[in-house]
Amino acid sequence: MWRRLEELVESIRVSRLTRLDRNEVRELARLYRRTAADLAIARQEVRDPLLVNYLNGLVGRAHGAIYRYEGTGFKAVGDFFRFELPATVRATFRYTAFAFLVTMAFASLGAYVTSGNEAFAESVVPGLRDNVIAHRDWTKKINDSNPVHSALIQRNNIGVCAMAFGGGLLAGLGTLYILLVNGLMLGVVIQLCVRYEFHDILIFMSAHGVLELSAIFISGGAGFLVASAMIAPGDLSRLDALLLKGRQAVVLLLGCAVMLVIAGTIEGFISPSEVPALWKFAVAGSTGILMVLYFLKPDRRLAAGTAELLRT
């Protein structure tokens, strides 16, 4: 049975799932479910690392073949955003949550230290304290060239997320550093703006902040995901764990890139504009709600994909 599943998966790799006939599609789905059940039994009862690694790899390859039956093209891109990205975010949420907690811990630390010693703010963001005290709104210059600044913002933010992701290859230390820096900056800025009642900056941050910070948390989670494969691969070999979790991390990073393009556009055109603060808060709230609804979208690829193939 396992050998036959390997043959079907290899056939798909070479000639795509759409080349299989109806009986082979049914057989693939049946063998996938049985092998997944065998994997669960092997983990609980057999506890043979070699067998578990073999079955885990086989189930992973079969899962990828079934869920990516559409191959390449616009449909593949559409299904990536419709199904794979939200499903991966949900499956790896604990890593995103950990990145969020780490960032908030450093933000709290930055705010606390700044409240007692404002000189600390200079070591984190030189010149920030003087600008805040004088109520100099440095964000207004974005309006001088919105498209250029929007592109620069997007490039910078994507670079930060890429470093948070890549930092996972340093056993998570690089990811931790990126979150540390961003957390401290966030805490310092908020503390100074609140103390000196410079609310313009906080209003500026509100419109794009939901998407931008969420992307940083998700990319940080992707970095910790990669680190977990290196430090604690579990039943898998370290290489297999890196391949499996590395693919998930890349999916997360691609999603973050799109989120940051949207956030950068908002930051370049809406955040620095003269529209009322209420509109900016509305943008923040609506993007947050839409993002949550999107990531909670059910993944029905297996049932839908099999049904569509059986009609061909």
Q: Report, as an integer, the average pLDDT of 259-267.
A: 92
Q: List pLDDT tens digits, range 93-104.
A: 999 999 999 999
Q: Is the pLDDT of residue 17 over 70?
A: no
Q: What is the pTM of this model?
A: 0.76
Q: Report helix angle 173-195 to 93-116, nearest 10.
A: 50
Q: List pLDDT tens digits, range 205-237.
A: 999 999 999 999 999 999 999 999 999 887 667
- Break the chain into its structural domains and give their ranges: 2-69, 88-295
Q: Is the pLDDT of residue 12 over 60?
A: yes
| Residue labelled with tokens 């009862």 | 45
Per-residue tokens: 169: 């290859």
Integer distance in angstroms from the first to the last C-alpha of the chain?
Answer: 25
Taking the CA atoms of residue 95, residue 100, residue 105 and residue 109 in that order, the dihedral angle to the nearest 10 degrees is 140
Q: Are 136 and 209 in contact (CB under 8 A)?
A: no
Q: Is 41 helix (H, G, I), strand (E, B) or coil?
A: helix
Q: Using CA atoms, how far apart are residues 237 and 107, in angstroms rounded to an integer?
A: 36
145 dihedral zone (left: phi>0; alpha: psi -120 to 50; beta): beta
Q: Is the pLDDT of residue 128 over 80?
A: yes
299 dihedral zone (left: phi>0; alpha: psi -120 to 50; beta): beta
Query: What pLDDT was estimated at residue 268?
Result: 87
User: If you average pLDDT over each of 23-27, 160-164, 300-304, which comes out highest?
Assistant: 160-164
Per-residue tokens: 108: 């709290």
Q: Are 173 and 224 in contact (CB under 8 A)?
A: no
